[in-house]
């Protein structure tokens, strides 16, 4: 177990040194396995923090070069101390940039109006008409999941690293900062729309 690997995992995950050492032992010094173990343990920490009130934070703005697209996003955390950190500001900037690039319609799945989901299902049912009922249901589930991935910010693959979703980026920030982090709302402006 090298000090370089410990330091690298500390920077990547924000986990404590003892947690990192234990994860490396469990993963037999395989970096990716250790990260996966830490993420699983971190996810438990994130779950506990998710219930805590996040009413501090900041509003971040991003204007794309050329001035044709702009975004304003409100990102909340628990304390103004964390809101002033470089890590939190970088997260807010990344989220604003992602929103400009990916054009989500909603923050999360719960924000999608029921009538929108029903309309999407109606369209998809028309596309698969004539197939057996069980096949139709599986196709509808897949298409609705894909719709959520395209329309909901937290479900989208992160623009800077498509291997993770935006919600994973935020979960990593929660684990690193030790506070609940929530995207409250956003607006995306396009010139002429």
Kindly report, residue by residue over 29-85, the tens digit of the pLDDT: 887 788 777 767 764 454 454 555 567 899 999 999 999 999 999 999 988 898 999
CATH number at residue 68: 3.30.479.20
Task: Tell whether 183 and 94 lie within a shared domain.
Answer: yes
Q: What is the rounded CA–CA span in Å between residue 61 and residue 87?
A: 16
Q: Which of 9-18, 29-38, 146-155 is least confident?
A: 9-18
Identify the band that residue 13 occupies on the pLDDT scale cut at 50, 70 and 90.
low
Going by C-alpha positions, the residue among 38, 48, 40 that lies closest to residue 18 is 38
| Residue pLDDT, tens place only, 172-187 | 888 888 888 999 999 9
97 with 68, same domain?
A: yes
**pTM score > 0.85 for this model?**
no
Residues 160 and 99 in one domain: yes
């Amino acid at each position: 177990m090298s000090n370089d690997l410990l330091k690298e995992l500390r920077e990547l995950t924000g986990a404590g040194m003892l947690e990192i050492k234990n994860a490396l032992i469990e993963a037999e010094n395989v970096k990716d396995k250790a990260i996966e173990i830490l993420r699983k343990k971190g996810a438990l920490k994130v779950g506990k923090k998710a219930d805590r009130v996040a009413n501090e934070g900041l509003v971040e703005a991003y204007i794309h070069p050329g001035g044709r697209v702009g975004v304003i996003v409100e990102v909340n955390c628990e304390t103004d101390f964390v809101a002033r950190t470089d890590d939190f500001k970088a997260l807010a900037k990344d989220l604003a940039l992602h929103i400009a690039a990916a054009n989500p319609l909603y923050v999360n799945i719960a924000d999608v109006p029921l009538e929108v989901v029903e309309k999407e299902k109606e369209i998809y049912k028309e596309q698969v008409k004539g197939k057996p009922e069980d096949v139709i249901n599986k196709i509808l589930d897949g298409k609705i999941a894909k719709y959520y991935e395209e329309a909901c910010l937290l479900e989208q693959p992160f623009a800077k690293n498509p291997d993770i979703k935006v919600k994973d980026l935020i979960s990593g920030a929660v684990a690193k900062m030790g506070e609940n982090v929530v995207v409250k709302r956003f607006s995306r402006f396009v010139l002429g729309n």
